[in-house]
């Protein structure tokens, strides 16, 4: 009797990583189908022939890679969900004085939310993506864990801390043990049209990295957005207000709180006779607090909410020693994590002060290479 191959839906963005993930899933014995998520209309964000991610050209590249692999390819329209759950949250965060990370929301709500749910509804056993991360069995196989990829330069576990046990159980990361040069070599060897394609940028819907221009387009004449990240006194974060010092004395005028982030030094547009740094953003009063002593943007304690624990079935009852990463590009640093039993939030106390943790960014917890979980800095 012929055995039925397990079925895998491969999220194909049109880049080399997802193309090779499809190739490796095929070689592992899966019956694969490639799927590209349509996330926005090009006219909504400004089509750019040089745009490396999420354009119509990328869907075409994904389709050509699927042809080279001999697998079907489809496009799913998630534009409404992307605008609400990723773009909307991004804009609302900046309007509320926070610094968002839309890649985390895209993974949470779209790839391992909507797309994985669609895959399971359609009878697929696994969702395959080109992320650089490892899914490992823990607790003698009773649970799944998330660990850093072998190629640390591309490790993406920081963006994946929201994954649940169910999502980990139904996901494959075939690139876990490969370096980027090895991925490109595999693509070239297999004749994939994406073998030499350049890297994608982080924020796919922000043209040329100009998020301020994007926010001006998004909010238009100031209709405002959702209040996901807390109230704001100026509706969209783009209304001029005051720079003030720690005592509230006015130092000058700013162009809108959405243009600033904690720790920022350059591009402030105010002269104080010596370097100044953004120490606080106050959305309710539309003020940006500046300091001239850089030590004021360091702190040794942060509060984290919306915490997802991957390594534990419940928040740890005792303080936990771990390494905490407060930005994707920041190194993990030693800290003590204390879960608050009443509301599920976490207090992170660092062994030494860290520079400019920003509200809205993720704090992700590690034990060596193993991702314990994480949450959003508040």
pLDDT at 352 over 80: yes
pLDDT tens-digit series, residues 106-163:
999 999 999 999 999 999 999 999 999 999 999 888 899 999 999 999 999 999 999 9
What does each C-alpha distance from 86 to 134, 275, 334 come to in angstroms?
25, 34, 31
Q: Write out the two tokens for 270.
A: 């105010």
Give the least confident one: 4-13, 160-169, 193-202, 284-293.
193-202
Task: State the pLDDT confidence band at 176, using cuts at 50, 70 and 90.
Answer: very high
Instruction: Give percent of the chain above pLDDT 90.
Output: 78
Q: Give CA–CA dist 98/103, Å, rounded.
A: 15
Q: Find the mean pLDDT for residues 191-208.
A: 85
Q: Find the mean pLDDT for residues 287-313.
A: 96
Q: Which fold has domain 240-292?
A: SH3 type barrels. (2.30.30)
pLDDT at 34 over 70: yes
Q: Find the mean pLDDT for residues 304-315.
A: 95
Of residues 135 and 233, more confidence is placed in: 135
pLDDT at 40 over 50: yes
Of residues 270 and 201, more confidence is placed in: 270
Task: State the pLDDT confidence band at 54, using cuts at 50, 70 and 90.
Answer: low
Task: State the pLDDT confidence band at 223, using cuts at 50, 70 and 90.
Answer: very low
pLDDT at 369 over 70: yes
pLDDT at 222 over 50: no
Residue 106 known to be catalytic = yes
pLDDT tens-digit series, residues 56-98:
678 999 999 999 999 999 999 999 999 999 999 999 999 999 9
**CATH number given to 298-377:** 2.40.30.10
Specify the domain boundaries for CATH 3.40.50.620 within the chain: 7-207
Residue 183 phi, psi (nearest 5): -65, -45
Q: Find the mean pLDDT for residues 259-283.
A: 93
pLDDT at 343 over 80: yes
Q: How high is the pLDDT of residue 202?
A: 62
Please answer whether residues 257 and 283 qualify as being in contact, where contact means their C-beta atoms are separated by less than 8 angstroms: yes
- Per the prediction, the chain carries an average pLDDT of 90
The 10 Å Cβ neighbour count of residue 188 is: 13
Choice among 32, 54, 103, 106 that is catalytic: 106
Please answer whether residues 288 and 342 qualify as being in contact, where contact means their C-beta atoms are separated by less than 8 angstroms: no
Q: Find the mean pLDDT for residues 168-185.
A: 98
Task: State the pLDDT confidence band at 43, using cuts at 50, 70 and 90.
Answer: low
Specify the domain boundaries for CATH 2.40.30.10 within the chain: 298-377
Q: Find the mean pLDDT for residues 297-319.
A: 95
Choice among 204, 249, 299, 371 that is catalytic: 204
Specify the domain boundaries for CATH 2.30.30 within the chain: 240-292
Residue 199 phi, psi (nearest 5): -65, 150
- Give the CATH superfamily of 7-207: HUPs (3.40.50.620)
Residue 204 known to be catalytic = yes
Q: Give CA–CA dist 175/201, Å, rounded.
A: 19
344: left (phi over 0), alpha (psi -120 to 50) or beta: left
């Amino acid at each position: 009797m012929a055995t039925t191959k397990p079925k895998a839906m491969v999220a194909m963005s049109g880049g080399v990583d997802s193309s090779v993930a499809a190739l490796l899933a095929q070689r592992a014995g899966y019956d694969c189908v490639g799927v590209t998520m349509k996330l926005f209309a090009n006219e909504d964000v400004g089509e750019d022939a040089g745009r490396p991610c999420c354009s119509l050209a990328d869907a075409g590249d994904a389709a050509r890679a699927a042809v080279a692999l001999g697998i079907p390819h489809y496009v799913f329209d998630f534009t409404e969900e992307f605008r609400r759950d990723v773009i909307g949250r991004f804009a609302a965060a900046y309007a509320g004085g926070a610094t968002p990370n839309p890649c985390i929301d895209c993974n949470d709500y779209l790839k391992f939310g909507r797309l994985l749910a669609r895959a399971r509804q359609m009878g697929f056993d696994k969702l395959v993506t080109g992320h650089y991360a490892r899914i490992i069995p823990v607790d003698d196989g009773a649970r799944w864990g998330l660990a850093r990829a072998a190629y640390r330069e591309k490790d993406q576990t920081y963006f994946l801390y929201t994954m649940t046990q169910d999502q980990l159980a139904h996901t494959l990361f075939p690139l876990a043990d490969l370096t980027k040069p090895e991925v490109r070599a595999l693509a070239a060897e297999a004749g994939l049209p994406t073998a030499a394609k350049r890297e994608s940028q982080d924020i796919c819907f922000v043209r040329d990295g100009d998020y301020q221009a994007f926010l001006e387009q998004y909010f238009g004449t100031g209709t405002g957005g959702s209040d996901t990240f807390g109230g704001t006194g100026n509706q969209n974060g783009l209304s001029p207000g005051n720079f003030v010092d720690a005592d509230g004395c006015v130092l000058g005028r700013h162009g809108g709180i959405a243009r600033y982030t904690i720790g920022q030094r350059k591009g402030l547009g105010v002269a104080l006779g010596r370097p100044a740094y953004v120490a606080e953003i106050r959305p309710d009063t539309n003020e940006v607090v500046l300091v001239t002593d850089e030590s004021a943007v360091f702190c040794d304690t942060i509060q984290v909410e919306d915490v997802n624990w991957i390594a534990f079935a419940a928040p740890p009852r005792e303080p936990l020693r771990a390494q905490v990463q407060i930005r994707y590009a920041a190194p993990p640093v030693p800290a003590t994590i204390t879960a608050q039993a009443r509301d599920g939030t976490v207090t992170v106390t660092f062994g030494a002060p860290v520079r400019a943790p920003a509200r809205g960014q993720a704090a992700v917890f590690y034990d060596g290479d193993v991702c314990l979980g994480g949450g959003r800095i508040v």
